[in-house]
């Protein structure tokens, strides 16, 4: 017979972890436009604070994506960070780098199974080329991520 203490630990500690792991599946959208390029993994704060150091370099960074009317931006995902546009990066998607769900021909911006892939207000990992001179719509952003070739939701 299983002792009550073990059952209690399972119900209150392990079961919630198992249930949370059954949530949303990770989706990866990729393009082959940057094949053969090595991406430098960098923290969002480091990237925005020293953007000139990373200009014209290919980076991998995490953040919170926001889209809307004339907005396509990556923000720091920390609750304690400055979330102003001057501390955000414009995300410049390009037709030169079409993004497809890994292993399929389903595009990131395509209507699929009755809906579009929702990326607004999602935490993402993104790979692309930094351009400190492209400051986005109305020149409001710190810089941009161009040639986006990888999005992990």
Q: What is the average pLDDT across 37-54?
A: 97
Whole-model pTM?
0.80
User: Cα–Cα distance between 149 and 128 in angstroms, integer?
Assistant: 6
pLDDT at 116: 72
Q: Does residue 77 have a pLDDT over 50?
A: yes
- Per-residue pLDDT reduced to its tens digit, 5-45: 554 544 444 545 444 445 568 999 999 999 999 999 999 99
User: Cα–Cα distance between 8 and 82 in angstroms, integer?
Assistant: 42
Per-domain boundaries in the chain = 24-152
Does domain 24-152 sit in CATH 2.40.50.140?
Answer: yes
Q: Does residue 88 have a pLDDT over 90?
A: yes
Inter-residue contact 119 to 65 (CB < 8 Å): yes
């Amino acid at each position: 017979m299983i002792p009550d203490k073990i059952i209690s630990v399972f119900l209150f500690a392990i079961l919630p972890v198992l249930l949370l792991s059954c949530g949303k599946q990770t989706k990866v959208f990729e393009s082959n436009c940057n094949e053969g390029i090595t991406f430098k993994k960098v923290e969002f704060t480091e990237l925005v604070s020293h953007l000139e150091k990373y200009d014209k370099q290919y980076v991998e960074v995490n953040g919170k994506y926001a889209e809307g009317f004339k907005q396509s931006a990556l923000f720091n995902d920390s609750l304690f960070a400055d979330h102003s546009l001057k501390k955000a990066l414009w995300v410049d998607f390009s037709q030169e780098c079409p993004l497809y769900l890994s292993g399929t021909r389903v595009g990131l911006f395509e209507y699929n199974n009755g809906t579009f892939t929702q990326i607004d207000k999602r935490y993402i990992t993104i790979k692309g080329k930094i351009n400190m001179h492209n400051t986005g719509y109305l020149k409001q952003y710190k810089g941009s991520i161009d040639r986006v070739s990888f999005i992990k939701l």
